[in-house]
Amino acid sequence: MYDCFFAFAMIWSFGACLDESKRDFNGYLRATCSKLKFPETGSVYDYFFDPIENKWCNWMDQVKPFNADIE
């Protein structure tokens, strides 16, 4: 679990300042941290580690759909 927290911190510290190199960083992190079992789809930036579920979860599953008609 702590390895996943470290990887998440690395994604959003070292990886956050990258521009065009984010795709390369994604590949590097997946290859280097293969034991962490990132989901196959998307990039590592699309996921966060949920310690309760003990798995990587997609950010979009946590965001409610936006409805501009609600006042």
Question: Does pTM top 0.85 for this prediction?
Answer: no
* Annotated domain spans of the chain: 2-61
Q: For residue 48, what is the DSSP state? A: E
> What pLDDT digit, counting tens, does each position of 4-57 carry?
999 999 999 988 899 889 999 999 999 999 899 999 999 999 999 999 999 999
Q: What is the pLDDT of residue 67?
A: 82
Chain centre to alpha carbon of residue 14: 13
Residue 70, pLDDT > 70, answer no
Distances (CA, A) of 57 to 1, 7, 15, 70: 14, 14, 18, 28
